[in-house]
Amino acid sequence: MMHLPTDHACCHGQAEAAECQCRSGEKCSSECSGVGECSCEGGGCCDEVGETEGECCGGTDLEIGVDYIGVGVGALIFNDDGKFLMALRGPQARNERNTWEIPGGKVEFGERLADALKREIKEEIGVEIEVGELLHVADHLILDEQQHWVSPTFICRIVKGIPTVQEPQKCTKIEWFTLAEAKKMPLSDITKSDIEVLEKRKAK
């Protein structure tokens, strides 16, 4: 079974609850060892219907991409010159700071991918976009930051507005790049993947 570090929520749906560790650093009680059950020392068991893992361990502040897999959607936005837009990730970016990345963001519960992408782009760079075809879906594993995301990227175009930085702590600047120019920049892992897929498509 997977052993979670002490800064994660208690395990859920595993057979040996006594081997799990809770957010507080305590081990889950050995009395709860069935599928879908886990408890912290002195607490009740989590189950698949009632309490969540965070509530079982005395808190509900689970972090997306860390305590559970996140979905982050990206927009590969092209202009009339064939260049695409990238943003430099700022000091308050969720991960991979000081790298260039195509704009986008996390999908909220209940959002469709296209709706989430339109919202994130409006929030980040102040433009309205048309979401086109799906370029690909990537496993975005940031091992040194212990984060796990699933990241679909769509080819998009701007239908209204001029791109400007709206959240300078998360995105310090934005620029248009050719494919060759982009490859010379420090890129996020997901943008490297996007460029690889784009190159293969162009080579066909």
Lateral strand order in the sheet of 128-142: 104-106, 70-77, 147-160, 128-142
pLDDT digits (tens, 9 = 90+) for 44-92: 444 433 434 444 444 457 877 777 788 999 999 999 999 999 999 998 8
Whole-angstrom CA distances from 101 to 94, 98, 191 are 12, 9, 5
Domain 70-203 falls in which CATH fold?
Nucleoside Triphosphate Pyrophosphohydrolase (3.90.79)
User: Which is more confident, 93 or 21?
Assistant: 93
User: Are 39 and 46 a contacting pair, CB within 8 Å?
Assistant: yes
pLDDT digits (tens, 9 = 90+) for 122-171: 999 999 999 999 999 988 787 777 788 899 999 999 999 999 999 999 99
Q: Where are the domains of the chain?
A: 1-62, 70-203
| Cα angle: 26, vertex 30, 34; to 5 degrees | 120
Q: What is the pTM of this model?
A: 0.67
